[in-house]
């Protein structure tokens, strides 16, 4: 309670000084007992039928950067292939905790990969570049349609190549992506990059539970789960060179937190359709209880409002549309002392035309109550191909 040591509290809380002189907080016994390097040593297998970083690790890592690159003029299919080979060699090494260059060696020599994953794919604009005829673009990689009411920043949208780097350590993430940028020199140039975070491993007392976003809500409750029979077909593609790949929708969504935080919790709960503390649907039960959209309160109104985010987004009202949402929070300082914060929304699906697109259209058409408190600022779509087998390189099947 009041026994918090600290400058700001002590100065601003002048009235508190009358209280008995506070005991210094007892040393937390757990500090120092975390085995050194235990988080850093963790690895996620790089090779496999599916790329790492989509459904593995099951609990997403604490830090991520998502970046887009554009091919330089004149770069052709052979140049991109050799870049993908260099990226593969580097990613294999880094994910296993081996150095990929002198520089990353120095940066990460005293840790390990910290569950590093590097996931690579292709944007719609690649098709049309030399060696990549537009006709070779999968139909599922059709650019996303414009959605009513949004103003996107083109300089931070789209891109020929997309790379998601995630790990339980921000230094590992930074170093890995820096290495990929250096290996791209002469072939592809960085277009945009976002950095995000979620809870760290070993930090919360309920690890593995749904994590809260910066609005304070449990976010991810109704995600497809890897142990469900439908998971594979909802999240992973099954045809051509995209077999076992997944389509990634990236949206930097700013939260209007000054407005949001003024709302009473009960109003916030009606925006989403769930209790803020427990994540339970407003129709009752606990977080995992199925929502009952037909249930009405004493006033005759549905307990879960018809224009709540959850009601408009749920698969049952969107022809079964499903996607795996594994976004990251961001909170970036602005010049002048402010902060812009929100969600780097990352959604994985077998096909965005039956995943993200109809759901977002329904959110817009239904005037999602959440839309008053968020702004979609950027958008990108990438085809993230199937996994890299031993001896293969990222996206190899595109070139066959
Ligand atoms: C559900 C927050 C944007 C699709 C939820 C839930 C929250 C939430 C708190 C309820 C818990 C859960 O099931 O995860 C947000 C925030 C957003 C955002 C803060 C923006 C900053 C989006 C967008 C889409 C989307 C852009 C897709 C177009 C979904 C889906 C569900 C969901 C499919 C599950 C609905 C269900 O079946 O119950 N979101 N969301 N969300 N959201 Fe969002």
Per residue of the chain (400 residues), give pLDDT as tens.
233 333 333 333 333 444 455 565 555 545 555 677 889 999 999 999 999 999 999 999 999 999 999 999 999 999 999 999 999 999 999 999 998 877 767 777 788 999 999 999 999 999 999 999 998 899 999 999 999 999 999 999 999 999 999 999 999 999 999 999 999 999 999 999 999 999 999 888 888 899 999 999 999 999 999 999 999 999 999 999 999 999 999 999 999 999 999 999 999 999 999 999 999 999 999 999 999 999 999 999 999 999 999 999 999 999 999 999 999 999 999 999 999 999 999 999 999 999 999 999 999 999 999 999 999 999 999 999 999 999 999 999 999 9
| Ligand 1 closest atom vs CA 255 | 21
Query: Does residue 359's CB lie within 6 angstroms of at least one atom of ligand 1?
Result: yes
Query: Does residue 363's CB lie within 6 angstroms of at least one atom of ligand 1?
Result: yes
Concerning whether 219 is annotated as a catalytic residue, the answer is: yes
Nearest CA to ligand 1 atom 23: 360
Distance of CA 237 to the CA centre of its chain: 19
Catalytic residue among 219, 239, 258, 259: 219
Query: What's the ipTM?
Result: 0.99
Assess contact for 392 and 398: CB atoms under 8 A. no
**Using CA atoms, how far apart are residues 214 and 255, in angstroms rounded to an integer?**
8
User: By CB neighbour count within 10 A (0-12 exposed, 13-18 middle, 19+ buried), where does 140 fall?
Assistant: buried
| Half-sphere exposure of residue 309: CA atoms within 13 angstroms, side-chain side | 18
Query: Does residue 88's CB lie within 6 angstroms of at least one atom of ligand 1?
Result: no
Instruction: Kindly give the distance from the C-alpha atom of residue 102 to the centroid of ligand 1, in angstroms, as a whole number.
Output: 42
83: enclosing H helix or E strand: helix 77-95
Query: Does residue 220's CB lie within 6 angstroms of at least one atom of ligand 1?
Result: yes
pTM given for the model: 0.92
Quickly count: other Cβ atoms within 10 Å of residue 319's Cβ: 10
Query: Does residue 345's CB lie within 6 angstroms of at least one atom of ligand 1?
Result: yes
């Amino acid at each position: 309670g009041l026994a918090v040591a600290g400058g700001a509290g002590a100065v601003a809380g002048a009235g508190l000084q009358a209280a008995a002189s506070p005991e210094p907080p007892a040393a937390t016994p757990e500090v120092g007992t975390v085995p050194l390097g235990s988080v850093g040593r963790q690895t996620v297998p790089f090779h496999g039928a599916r790329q790492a970083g989509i459904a593995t690790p099951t609990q997403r890592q604490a830090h991520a950067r998502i970046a887009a690159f554009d091919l330089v003029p004149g770069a052709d299919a052979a140049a991109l292939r050799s870049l993908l080979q260099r990226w593969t060699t580097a990613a294999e090494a880094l994910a296993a905790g081996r150095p990929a260059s002198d520089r990353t060696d120095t940066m990460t020599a005293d840790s390990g990969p910290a569950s590093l994953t590097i996931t690579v794919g292709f944007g719609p604009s690649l098709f049309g570049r030399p060696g990549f005829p537009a006709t070779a673009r999968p139909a599922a990689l059709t650019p996303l349609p414009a959605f009513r009411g949004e103003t996107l920043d083109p300089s931070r949208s789209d891109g020929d190549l997309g790379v998601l780097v995630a790990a339980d350590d921000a230094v590992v993430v930074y170093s890995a992506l820096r290495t990929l940028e250096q290996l791209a020199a002469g072939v592809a140039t960085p277009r945009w990059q976002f950095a995000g975070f979620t809870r760290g491993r070993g930090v919360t007392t309920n690890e593995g539970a749904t994590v809260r976003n910066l609005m304070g809500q449990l976010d991810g409750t109704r995600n497809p789960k890897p142990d469900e029979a439908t998971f594979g077909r909802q999240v992973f593609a099954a045809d051509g060179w995209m077999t076992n790949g997944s389509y990634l929708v990236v949206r930097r969504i700013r939260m209007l937190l000054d407005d949001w935080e003024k709302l009473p919790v009960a109003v916030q709960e009606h925006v989403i359709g769930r209790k803020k503390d427990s994540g339970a649907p407003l129709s009752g039960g606990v977080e995992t209880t199925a929502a009952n959209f037909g249930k009405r309160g004493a006033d005759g109104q549905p307990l879960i409002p018809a224009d709540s985010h959850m009601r408009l987004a749920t698969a049952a009202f969107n022809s079964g549309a499903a996607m795996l949402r594994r976004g990251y929070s961001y909170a970036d300082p602005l010049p002048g002392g402010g902060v812009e914060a929100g969600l780097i929304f990352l959604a994985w699906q077998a096909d965005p035309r039956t995943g993200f697109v109809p759901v977002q259209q329904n959110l817009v058409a239904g005037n999602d109550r959440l839309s008053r408190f968020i702004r979609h600022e950027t958008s990108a779509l990438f085809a993230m191909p199937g996994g890299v087998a031993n001896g293969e390189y990222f996206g190899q099947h595109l070139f066959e």
